Amino acid sequence: MSISVSFSRQVALLAICASGSAACSSGSAERQSSPAIAARPTTATPTQPVERAAPPTPSPEQLSGTPVALHGALHTEGAKLMDEHGAVVQLRGPSSMWLNWEQSGYASNPDLLTLMRDSWGATLVRAAMGVDAPGAYLTVPDKAERDLRAVVDNAINLGLYVIIDWHDHEALDHVEESVAFFKKMATTYGGYPNIIYEVFNEPLQLDWSTELKPYHERLVSEIRAIDPDNLIILGTPNWSQYVDDASDDPVVGENLAYTLHFYSCTHKREFRNRGDWALNRNVPVFVTEWGASHSDGGTADNPGLCLDEAELWHEWMNTHQISWAAWKLDDCPDETCYFTAGAPADGSFRPDQLTAHGAFVRDKMMTATASAQ
């Protein structure tokens, strides 16, 4: 870790190391590798222009009883996420696959999102727009934006909250593209209470105060010039795991939250300790991505689910009323994908087409919904 910490904090974070945790032995708990990223071009290649369709205009009858109709505009108070009535709200829902790699149309299918809202209890969907990966925003921006807008527009029409996720690991290499994108999103969607901005999915080994915080300050300033109040989520160092670093030197502003990602076979008590550190400083934490697998998402080279540890994470999130989005709404071979290959995208899948991870995510949404009634 590149910035100093107090003795008391070292005690809090390293208590688990007494048992010989592998995550502590090297001084870091780096997430394992993600899919290979091709070399990034310096300029985006234009493709078919984005169709500037009018923003959604759902009727009051269409939205009646939906999550956004019930909770309205969100804001933060201390470490809590609150609705417009002053009640604490804990959002839960699916995260899309990297949209540039999503082939089956799950995240953009309104029938599937309706099923997840009405039967699973989803209140949120995360639109993970790939940025620096092959076929993503930097190389085909018009297609990437169309794919993202499809998810956002469906969420608005269904009364779901929606995270607009700049799904990137190297955002400091293309700050101006990020600024231009979020200014466009704020201009188009800033008037909708559904909208949540996630301006940097998973930073790598960057120093918070000297590298990441200035980026976030720039993005917050640009968004706030257009959208004064919708929630903005800020990525934290080391694959959005060191939320404690951010809490020691937070960005000044209203309605800001900080990411904490976990994959339960890899990330255990130490990382909940980091979350506790942030919460104890009244810094809101939002788990915009989690899985019950190893940190690579459960590839064939690293199989296995750790559901007992995932249960501990959910107990922790429920205790602190932390909102979350679960990776990932797709039928890919990874164990974190919800569906087996070929499952219908319209929600008409059979029970045996839901993977073990998909069933776990479903049960976590449904249990939370039942307990809230």
- Which residues are identified as catalytic? 202, 289
CA dihedral 46, 36, 338, 272 (to 10 degrees): -110
Buried b vs exposed e over 325-340: b needs ≥16 C-beta within 10 Å? bbbbbbbbebbbbbbe
Closest of 278, 168, 154, 254 to residue 215, by C-alpha? 168
- Is residue 233 within 8 A of residue 257, CB to CB? The reply is yes
- Is residue 85 within 8 A of residue 71, CB to CB? The reply is yes
- Kindly report the length of the chain: 373
**The pair of three-digit structure tokens given for residue 241, joined into one six-digit string:** 């795991």
- Is residue 324 within 8 A of residue 92, CB to CB? The reply is yes
Judged on CB neighbours under 10 Å (0-12, 13-18, 19+), 248 is middle
A 10 A CB-CB count for 214 gives: 13
Judged on CB neighbours under 10 Å (0-12, 13-18, 19+), 358 is buried
- Is residue 233 within 8 A of residue 243, CB to CB? The reply is no
φ and ψ of 126, to 5 deg: -110, 125
**The pair of three-digit structure tokens given for residue 345, joined into one six-digit string:** 């995208």
A 10 A CB-CB count for 63 gives: 17
Q: What angle do CA 308, 310, 312 make, to 5 degrees?
A: 75
Cα separation, 306 vs 284, in Å, equals 26
